[in-house]
Amino acid sequence: MRVDHVELLAVRLPLVREFETSSHRKSYLEHVLVRVQDADGAVGWGEIASPSGPFFAAETVETCWSIATAHLVPALLGRVWEHPAQAAALWSRVRGNEFAKAGLDMACWALWSQTQGVPLAGALGGERRTVVAGVSLGIEASVDALVEQVARHVEAGYPRVKLKIAPGWDAEPVAAVRAAFPDLSLHVDANGAYTESDEHLAALRGLDGAGLLMIEQPFAPRDLLAAARLQASIETPICLDESIVDGHDLATALALGSGRVLNIKVSRMGGLTAAVAAHDLARAHDVPVWCGGMHEFGIGRAANVALSSLPGFVLPSDVSGSDKYYARDVVTPPIRADRGTVRVPWETPGLGHAVDEEFLRAHATRTSEHRGSA
């Protein structure tokens, strides 16, 4: 295969409801969509789902745009490859910048599976026809407002709810939600907001009796030793997210005992190629995994659904219906959850969803086209 034409489109969509984490609050998202086309006119789409600010990771929309246009796209254009993993190797000299890489990697997987006439889930090695979806809820203005949001999503059929926590917003909201929903599969996500101070450790250990599925990313990404010490002192599994950028990070975390669950995010790990490798490594060590999300538009969400069909994804993934975040999605049909499950599109090659180019172009804030030499 050979990609002869790449187009980048920065697209901004308002969120149906503002979302707050331990670091910031957002009312819209701007992601860079990647369109690749081969010499025969076949098209694949990917999504660079980086945040606008450097709070979850160092990358932003601006850095991704710069790296993609200056380094990644030129490395891909006009080069011949037979499998998406070979395409990903073309930009291996570029260090870091996983979000930017993920968008191009995803587009190459979509293009390849489209031309091979197979669904993306099958191309990745997936098996499931449906995947169980969880939902992620941000920090609310009050505990009552949070309980109300949980109730709405439990009523919609979501079997697992994740609550964002931060120092000072942990014990009380968790206790209130657990009291209201004693049988709910519940977990919390700190996005690295805690330290090993006595106060913070007391708060985290205090959550150990709440019947949580996991405590996700309590400490800063590189502080695997702190995670290992906490894991040794509590029964609740620690889940690693921001800490695991590549397979070396995962191997180190496994050796240290820093966590018992892995959140695999396509964007954080640099694409579907790396995500599948992480799945395989975790499965070999009997570590349960689930697919985390970055509030992707339908393109990235479709890739997450396909990835979640792999056999090692045994916990509910963040692949809730796109209508939870956006009034209108960039793909048709939109991704929907039915009583907490999302159907994997096995009948259609590629992503399994058509991209609504007219709609996304109407919401593009800028575009950039790149063509290979004839």
Give catalytic residue positions: 164, 265
> Is residue 138 within 8 Å of residue 146, measured between CB atoms?
no
> Is residue 312 within 8 Å of residue 275, measured between CB atoms?
no
| Angle between helix 143-155 and helix 171-180 axes, rounded to 10 deg | 40
Contacts of 261 (CB under 8 A, 6+ apart): 214, 237, 238, 239, 240, 287, 288, 289, 290, 315
DSSP assignment of 72-125, as one string? IHHHHTT-B-SSHHHHHHTTTTS-S-HHHHHHHHHHHHHHHHHHHT-BHHHHHT
User: Rounded to whole angstroms, what are the CA distances from 147 to 55, 153, 167?
Assistant: 26, 10, 19
Helices (H), the chain: 61-67, 73-76, 84-89, 98-116, 120-124, 143-155, 171-180, 198-206, 224-233, 247-256, 266-269, 272-284, 298-308, 357-362
Residue 124 in tokens: 């990745």
One-letter amino acid of 104: L
